[in-house]
């Protein structure tokens, strides 16, 4: 799935949401990969689509994560 943040506060809230999960969560933007739990003040992501991946085989965890980050999802994939 792809996400997009409008503000720095979106990045901070997304990071806080990801912290609730034990699974690794990565964000891919161009050729860069970021740990979603430690985005900090990464301004590169504001206003741009980025791919997010939660590393799990548990479909219920994946579905819960999608619900939790639905605010920032711009497209599936």
First-to-last alpha carbon distance for the chain, in angstroms, is: 4
Question: pTM of the full predicted structure?
Answer: 0.87
Task: Measure the CA–CA gap between 54 and 27, rounded to whole angstroms.
Answer: 9
pLDDT of residue 45: 81
How much is the average pLDDT of 48-65?
96
In this predicted model, what pLDDT tens digit does every residue of 9-24 receive, in sequence order?
899 899 999 999 999 9
How much is the average pLDDT of 14-39?
92
């Amino acid at each position: 799935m792809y996400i997009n943040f409008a503000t720095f506060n979106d990045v901070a809230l997304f990071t806080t949401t990801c912290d609730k999960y034990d699974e690794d969560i990565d964000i891919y933007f161009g050729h860069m990969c970021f740990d979603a739990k430690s985005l900090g003040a990464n301004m590169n992501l504001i206003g741009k689509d980025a791919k997010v991946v939660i590393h799990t085989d548990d479909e219920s965890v994946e579905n819960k994560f999608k619900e939790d980050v639905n605010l920032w999802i711009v497209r599936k994939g």
